[in-house]
Amino acid sequence: MPLFGLIGYPLSHSFSKRYFSEKFERLGLKDHRYDLFELPDIRFFPDLWQKHPDLKGLNVTIPHKQAVIPYLDALDETAREVGAVNTIKKMPDGRLIGYNTDVRGFEQALLRWLPLNYFHKQGFEALVLGTGGASKAVSYVLQQLQIPFWRVSREAAKTGLTYTDLSQKGWGNARLIINTTPLGMSPHTDSTPPLPYHLLDTSFYLYDLVYNPPLSRFLEEGIVRGAKIQNGLEMLYLQAEAAWDIWST
């Protein structure tokens, strides 16, 4: 029985099992199964493959998108350039190959929503909240689309800003704010990145990779001030389809 699944910790928020289970049913793949494998520590990763010899592929989520790389035999070009993995395929010879379908999912979802030509014309910038594996995929896409951006984290970095910087100096020329952190994700729905939300207006675009709940506090702060908003559900579906393309070929 071909087995697929998701590793991360925690996984109570995930829609992936339902998504793939419904997909397998639609495709008539009654012998296929998708499970959630909570791994509090990436050191348990090799044991997972030994316990489940039918495992053919995995999705990877927080906090293992970078930590899993040393356990893989190779990376495809995009995953290597991004420095993060969210999809793994077990090859017929047993090798584990890492891919990054977050790039495809985020880019397609962003281009369907953001008026890219307008952004270029206005010279607007983006802010990427967080420094984890998802932020690396988002940053890669922004580079490809020639949207200047700053990474934002709690601690100062040479190529980034801190939340304190934004609170003190405002948004600058940034109009696209992308949350790649788990803040606001179920079950901790009351949390949100510490930002100067009172300075938002109708010229802003807020994108949250969180999709559960559909409307995070981060997005709510934008709505009440007239900003355009988008959650991460479409990206989830698009990256999942890209993962299936990899597993099924």
pLDDT in tens, the chain (249 residues): 899 999 999 998 899 999 999 999 999 999 999 999 999 999 999 999 999 999 999 999 999 999 999 999 999 999 999 999 999 999 999 999 999 999 999 999 999 999 999 999 999 999 999 999 999 999 999 999 999 999 999 987 766 899 999 999 999 999 999 999 999 999 999 999 999 999 999 999 999 999 999 999 999 999 999 999 999 999 999 999 999 999 999
Quickly tell me which residue has 């698009």 as its tokens.
238
Specify whether 81 is located in the same domain as 112.
no
Residue 183 is assigned to a structural domain of this protein: yes
> What is the longest distance spanned by two Cα atoms in the chain?
56
> Among 210, 160, 206, 205, which residue's Cα sits nearest to residue 183?
210
User: Residue 57's domain is classified under what CATH number?
Assistant: 3.40.50.10860
Give the active site residues.
65
CA angle 140, 145, 150 (to 5 degrees): 55
Q: What is the C-alpha to C-alpha distance for residues 69 and 187, in angstroms, rounded to an integer?
A: 28
Specify whether 118 is located in the same domain as 229.
yes
Specify whether 109 is located in the same domain as 220.
yes
Specify whether 137 is located in the same domain as 223.
yes
Are the CB atoms for 232 and 208 separated by under 8 Å?
yes
Specify whether 107 is located in the same domain as 215.
yes
Residue 243 is assigned to a structural domain of this protein: no
Structural domain ending residue among the three candidates 47, 66, 100: 100
Structural domain ending residue among the three candidates 53, 77, 100: 100
How far, CA to CA in Å, does 134 sit from each of 38, 81, 131, 236? 18, 13, 8, 12
Specify whether 121 is located in the same domain as 56.
no
CB-CB neighbours of 23 under 10 Å: 16
Strand, coil or helix: what is 218? helix
What stretches of the chain show up as alpha helix (H) in DSSP? 16-27, 45-51, 77-82, 102-113, 116-122, 133-144, 163-169, 217-223, 233-247
Specify whether 218 is located in the same domain as 130.
yes
Specify whether 156 is located in the same domain as 198.
yes
Give the chain's domain count: 2
Are the CB atoms for 67 and 37 separated by under 8 Å?
no
Structural domain ending residue among the three candidates 100, 135, 169: 100
User: Residue 167's domain is classified under what CATH number?
Assistant: 3.40.50.720
Q: Which domain holds residue 175?
A: 103-234
Specify whether 163 is located in the same domain as 219.
yes
Q: Which two tokens stand for residue 15?
A: 């829609």
